[in-house]
Amino acid sequence: MFTFLWTASRAQSFNFRSKLPAVQKTGYYRILLPPSVVGQLKADRSDIRLFDEKKQEIPYILNREQPSQQVQFKEYELVSKITSAVSTKLVLRNGNKNPISSLGLIIKNTNLRKKARLSGSNDAQTWYGIEDNYLLEPVASTETTSEARIIGFPLSDYPYYQLEINDSLSAPLNILEVGYYTTTAEAGQYSAIPGVSFSQKELPDGHKSQVRIRLADLSRPDKLTISVDYPVEYRRSVELAERRTWKTKRRRLQSGFETLKTFELNSIDSLHTVLLPDLQTKELYLLIDNQNNRPLKIGAIQAQQLNTYVVAELEPGNSYHFAFGNPAVGAPTYDLPYFKNKIPAKLPVIQAYPLKAEPVSTESSPSFFAANPWVIWVAIGLVLVLLSYFSYQMVTDLKNR
Sketch the domain layout of the chain as residue ranges. Answer: 13-65+308-361, 71-186, 190-306, 369-400
CATH code for the part of the protein at 190-306 = 2.60.120.260
Residue with the larger pLDDT of the pair 133 and 209: 209
Q: What is the pLDDT of residue 10?
A: 39
Confidence class of residue 185 from pLDDT cuts 50, 70 and 90? low
The answer to whether 305 and 191 have CB atoms below 8 angstroms apart is yes
Q: What is the mean pLDDT of residues 337-355?
A: 91
Q: What is the mean pLDDT of residues 137-153?
A: 79
Beta-carbon contacts of residue 138 (< 8 Å; ≥ 6 apart): 110, 111, 112, 113
Does this model's pTM top 0.75?
no
The C-alpha torsion from 343 through 344 and 348 to 350, rounded to 10°, is 30
Residue 221 CB-half CA count within 13 A: 27
Q: What is the pLDDT of residue 120?
A: 94
- pLDDT single digits (tens) 82-119: 888 899 999 999 887 888 888 888 888 888 888 999 99
CA 303, CA 195: separation in Å to the nearest integer?
Answer: 9
Q: Identify whether 231 is preceded by a cis peptide bond (ω within 30 of 0).
A: yes
Strands 27-32 and 349-351: parallel
- pLDDT single digits (tens) 223-281: 999 999 988 889 899 999 999 888 777 778 888 889 999 998 988 766 788 888 888 99
- pLDDT single digits (tens) 152-184: 888 889 999 999 999 988 999 898 888 877 665
Q: How far is CA 168 from CA 172, 173, 379, in A?
A: 9, 12, 98
Beta-carbon contacts of residue 91 (< 8 Å; ≥ 6 apart): 78, 79, 80, 81, 124, 160, 161, 162
Q: What is the pLDDT of residue 20?
A: 94
- pLDDT single digits (tens) 211-221: 999 999 899 99
Is 71-186's fold the same as 190-306's?
yes
Superfamily of domain 71-186: Galactose-binding domain-like (2.60.120.260)
Q: What angle do CA 310, 315, 320 make, to 5 degrees?
A: 55
